[in-house]
Structure 1
Amino acid sequence: MDTLIGRQTEILGDVRFSGGLHVDGKIKGKVIANSDKAASLSVSDTGLVEGDVRVPNIVLNGAVTGDVHATEKITLAAKARVNGNVYYKIIEMEGGATVNGQLVHEGEAGRAPAALTQKPADDSVDQLSEARRAKGL
C-alpha cells in the first residue's frame, strides 16, 4: 500500500490516488483511482467511505455509502456493507457481507452485456389476445 488513512483520520473531499490506498478511517467524498489498472483500495472493518468509489481492484471489509465501481475485481469480506449499487467485472463475496442496492455485472466494454440490456419481446400478450379473439371475447 502506498497510502494509509489511519483510524483516527477523517478526510473531507475527494481522494484521487494511484497504486494502493488502505482506509482505516473515514472519507467523506469520492474515491477515484487515476488511470492505473492495477490500483487497489482496501477498506478495513473500521473504514468508512461516504461517496462513490471508482477503483479497479477493491477489498472491502468496512462500509461504503455510495455506488462502487470495480472495473477489475471486488472482494466483499464478511463485514462489508454497501449502501448503493455495485458495478463489477469479477466479484467475490463472503457470507455476512451486505449490499443494499443492485449488483451489476459489467462486460469488457464497461457496460452490461447486450443480452442483459435488451428487453425481450413479450409474445405472451399477443398470444392471450389471439386466444380471446378466437373465443369471441
Structure 2
Amino acid sequence: MKEKPTYTIIGTNTVIEGPVHVNGDIIIGGTIKSDIDAKGIVQIPEGGLVDGSILAREVHLNGRVTKGIHAEEKIVLGVKSDFSGELVTKKLIVEEGARISGKIQVAERKNTKVTESAE
C-alpha cells in the first residue's frame, strides 16, 4: 500500500522559533524564524515569512524568505514573492513582479547531443 503524503500547515497567526524538519510537504502562512528542512514541497503564500534558509525538494514562494533556498528540483518565485539570499536549484521559474536580491545558481543541463560517425 502506497503511503499518503503528509502535509503540515503553519497558520497565518503562528510563529515558530527553532529549526523545522518535515518529512512531507509544508504550507507556511505564518512565520518561521529559523531554517527549514523538508523532504517534499514547501509553499509560502502571500503573508508567509521564513526568516532563515530552506532546504527542500521544491519551493513555491509568494511570501518572503530572508536567507536562502536550496531546492533539489525546482523553485517558483510567484508575482508576490520577496526573496533575499542565495537560490540554488536545477530549475527556476520567476513570475513578473517577483522581487529577488542575492545570488542565483541554476545547475546546467548535461549535453545530450548525439554524434554520428561514418565508417
Task: Answer yes or no: is 1:19 the counterpart of 2:21.
Answer: no
Q: Match of 1:66?
A: 67
Q: Calculate percent identity across the aligned residue pairs.
A: 32
Distance in 1 (CA, whole Å) between partners of 2:41 and 2:108 is 20
Distance in 2 (CA, whole Å) between partners of 1:104 and 1:57 is 15
Task: Answer yes or no: is 1:6 the counterpart of 2:14.
Answer: no
Distance in 2 (CA, whole Å) between partners of 1:57 and 1:18 is 13
Alignment CA distance shift 1:107-1:18 (3 Å): farther
Task: Answer yes or no: is 1:75 the counterpart of 2:80.
Answer: no
Q: Match of 2:97?
A: 96
Task: Answer yes or no: is 1:45 the counterpart of 2:46.
Answer: yes
What amino acid sits opposite 2:85 in the alignment?
Answer: G
The Cα shift of 1:94 comes to: 0.2
**Count of residue correspondences:** 105
Task: Answer yes or no: is 1:30 the counterpart of 2:35.
Answer: yes
Alignment CA distance shift 1:104-1:20 (3 Å): same
Provide structure 2 residue ranges, at least 5 long, that are not aligned to the other structure.
1-5, 111-119
Distance in 2 (CA, whole Å) between partners of 1:70 and 1:62 is 17
Distance in 2 (CA, whole Å) between partners of 1:12 and 1:2 is 20
Distance in 2 (CA, whole Å) between partners of 1:10 and 1:107 is 37
Greater share of strand residues, 1 or 2? Answer: 2
Show CA shifts across 1:19-57 (max 9, x none). Answer: 110000000000112xx4xx1000010100000110111
Greater share of helix residues, 1 or 2? Answer: 1
CA root-mean-square deviation: 1.5
- When Rg is computed on C-alpha atoms for both structures, the one with the higher figure is 1
The Cα shift of 1:107 comes to: 4.8
The Cα shift of 1:18 comes to: 1.4
The Cα shift of 1:13 comes to: 0.4
Q: What TM-score do you get using the length of structure 1 for normalisation?
A: 0.73
